[in-house]
Structure 1
Amino acid sequence: MTAIIEADGLGIRFVRNRRRQLRLRELIVHRGARDPDAGRFWPLRDLSFRVEPGETVGVVGRNGTGKSTLLRLIAGVLIPDEGTIAVHGRVAPLLELSAGFSGDLTGRENLYLVGGLHGLSPAYLRRHFDEIVSFAGEQVERAIDTSVRHYSSGMKVRLGFAVIAHLPHPVLLVDEVTAVGDAEFRAKCYATIERLLAEGRTLVLVSHNDKDLTRFCRRGLYLDAGRLIVDGTIDEALAAYADAAQR
């Protein structure tokens, strides 16, 4: 079977304090001889793994170990500096759910904008418009023709989730989405993820909630200091994480 996600030697490099400008004196004294790697670090390096179609994978680790960065590499939001990441299918990213919204546009206009950015046709969005807005909840439904700048952060997340949840794409990326919103919204999140998995979608989930990870995932990747330490069952990955946290 052909893997739907393939990472080989994957790595990405960031720069701390990107806005810092060298003073004239530093430029004159060092004359370009400063360490070119100063301030640079690798949030992820040398990751290799394969995900088969229909697999459910939880990514486990402390804050700052590259979990969300990995999802953004899979989504194509970030480009690796080393190695390769290949995704054989379109991605439905439940990541930053209000990303792509324009505060100058109404909820209705943003629905078409974000849906279009993810490949949904205007005809599809027209057919499913009422369904999407209803899913987002009564608050969003009442304000759908109001500028999004007047929406609360929760309303933006609800609308973003409603749009992304209607994508037919085979790969589902989820980053702590169920930590946002009230109990009713979380219940919708859970039900939607379960429905999508029942359809055979592939899931990569980042969460600090062990119950969410064991509920949705069978396989686990445990990351530490940007390296893949454990690739096994979700229970094995969680056990390794718990053991490291106690040291």
Structure 2
Amino acid sequence: MAFIQLENVSVSFPVYSASNRSLKNRLIQSATGGQIRADTVSQRISVVEALQDINLKLENGDRLGLVGHNGAGKTTLLRVLGGIYEPNCGQVNVEGATVPLFDIALGMDQESTGYENIVLRGLFLGLTRRQIKERIDDIAEFTELGDFLNLPIRTYSAGMQMRLAFAVSTSVVPDILLLDEGIGAGDASFLDKARARLHRFTEQVSIIVLSSHANDLVRNMCNKAILMEHGRIVECGPTEEVLQVYEAQRENAKDRSKQAP
């Protein structure tokens, strides 16, 4: 059974040769993004605290929406759940096969052909070679890339690469789906086909974690939500309750900007 539990998880990134007392750093710290502090060992190193003391528990049937301003920590949290980032402290317990539908070209090689990258991406997602072989014809047909699959993907447009990565990533239904609304799937003519495949895909998943700026999408897909600010969870609960807090904050921010000289 799929299960996610995070206990006191924090993630920080060192920034070397940075001036900790610069005006730029102070401005960044007071705006969006994680908190910035000076490293206690070397004053030449700044540390961006991307996540701070995250506690989270998700079980079968949960659909969680991550909301907050750019730089609030949503993407970092998705990457921790996907095993891409290791926390500096705290415990991460994820049970079940996980597919990240963000950075979906991760694990692909520009010098390899489309067919070779189907294998590479499939292995990255945890498929065996036999499972990849069973799916390869369906993946190739879905991409609509034809003979281009015999060419190195460095010859592809960005849209063509996205088609290939999307087709491989949605060829296996995981227990846990990590989803970024910013995912694209190529040109407009391909989008309806991709949306239909993604809809069928998400219906079969046990747990979904969605990062989104589209509140309507969060309302339609999620039964829980968390609001993040500067790497922390500031609100957590039923979707509508959290979104009301988030929307009120955005309206207040708009009012303040209008009043500013």
**Structure 1 length-normalised TM:** 0.85
Q: Is the 8 A contact 1:3 1:50 kept in 2?
A: no
Q: 1:69 aligns with which of 34, 57, 76?
A: 76
Q: Is the 8 A contact 2:158 2:186 kept in 1?
A: no
Residue matched to 1:4 = 3
Residue matched to 1:57 = 64
| Deviation readout 1:43-100 (Å, 9 max, x if unpaired) | 1101111011121111001000100000000011000012111101121110112122
Aligned length: 232
1:35 aligns with 2:40: no
Distance 1:5 1:65, change over 3 A: same
Return the alpha-carbon distance in structure 1 between the equivalents of residues 190 and 122 of structure 2.
20
| AA partner of residue 5 (structure 2) | E
**Secondary structure, aligned partner of 1:142:** helix
1:242 aligns with 2:250: no
Q: Is the 8 A contact 2:18 2:46 kept in 1?
A: no
Q: 1:161 aligns with which of 158, 166, 189?
A: 166
Shift >3 Å, 4+ stretches: 32-36, 177-186
For structure 1, the residue ranges without an aligned partner over 5 or more in a row are 23-31
- 1:90-101 equivalence runs, <5 A: 90-101=97-108
Distance 1:134 1:237, change over 3 A: farther
Q: Is the 8 A contact 1:97 1:160 kept in 2?
A: yes
Residue matched to 2:142 = 135
| AA partner of residue 97 (structure 2) | R
Residue matched to 1:81 = 88
Residue matched to 2:118 = 111
Return the alpha-carbon distance in structure 2 between the equivalents of residues 189 and 142 of structure 1.
20
Distance 1:157 1:57, change over 3 A: same
Return the alpha-carbon distance in structure 2 between the equivalents of residues 169 and 200 of structure 1.
6
Return the alpha-carbon distance in structure 2 between the equivalents of residues 3 and 124 of structure 1.
21
Return the alpha-carbon distance in structure 2 between the equivalents of residues 244 and 236 of structure 1.
13
Return the alpha-carbon distance in structure 2 between the equivalents of residues 244 and 209 of structure 1.
15
Give the deviation of 1:123 after TM superposition.
1.9
Give the deviation of 1:194 after TM superposition.
2.6
Give the deviation of 1:149 after TM superposition.
0.3
Give the deviation of 1:184 after TM superposition.
4.2
Q: 1:196 aligns with which of 198, 201, 211?
A: 201
For structure 2, the residue ranges without an aligned partner over 5 or more in a row are 20-39, 253-261
Give the deviation of 1:190 after TM superposition.
3.2
Return the alpha-carbon distance in structure 2 between the equivalents of residues 107 and 200 of structure 1.
27
**Secondary structure, aligned partner of 1:246:** helix
| AA partner of residue 44 (structure 1) | L
| Deviation readout 1:172-227 (Å, 9 max, x if unpaired) | 00112445544444433432333233224311011112232222212111101111
Return the alpha-carbon distance in structure 2 between the equivalents of residues 115 and 3 of structure 1.
21
Return the alpha-carbon distance in structure 2 between the equivalents of residues 98 and 171 of structure 1.
18
**Secondary structure, aligned partner of 1:188:** helix
Q: Comparing 63-72 with 84-93, which one deviates more in the overlay?
A: 84-93
